Amino acid sequence: LADLFGQIVLTQTPESLAVSPGDRVTINCKASSSVSYSYMAWYQQKSGQAPKLLIYSASTRPSGIPDRFSGSGSGTDFTFTISRVEADDAGDYYCQEGYSLTLTVIQSNTKTSLRLLSANAICYLGANFQPQKHIYLPSPPYNTHKLTDSLLLENLPSTQKSF
Q: For the segment 50-98, what is each residue's pLDDT rounded down to a tens digit?
A: 889 999 999 999 999 999 999 999 999 999 999 999 989 988 898 888 7
From residue 63, alpha-carbon distances to 46, 53, 55, 67, 79 in Å are 20, 10, 10, 10, 20
The confidence score (pLDDT) of residue 130 equals 42
Delineate the domains of the chain, giving CATH numbers in brackets: 7-116 (2.60.40.10), 119-163 (no CATH)
Bridge pairing between strands 7-13 and 104-108: parallel
| Better-scored residue on pLDDT, 77 or 4 | 77
Task: Give the pTM.
Answer: 0.64
- Is the pLDDT at 119 greater than 50? The verdict is no
Cα torsion angle, 135, 138, 140, 145, sign: negative
For every residue of 91-103, DSSP letters joined together read EEEEEEE---SS-
pLDDT winner (highest mean) among 3-7, 36-40, 45-49, 125-129: 45-49
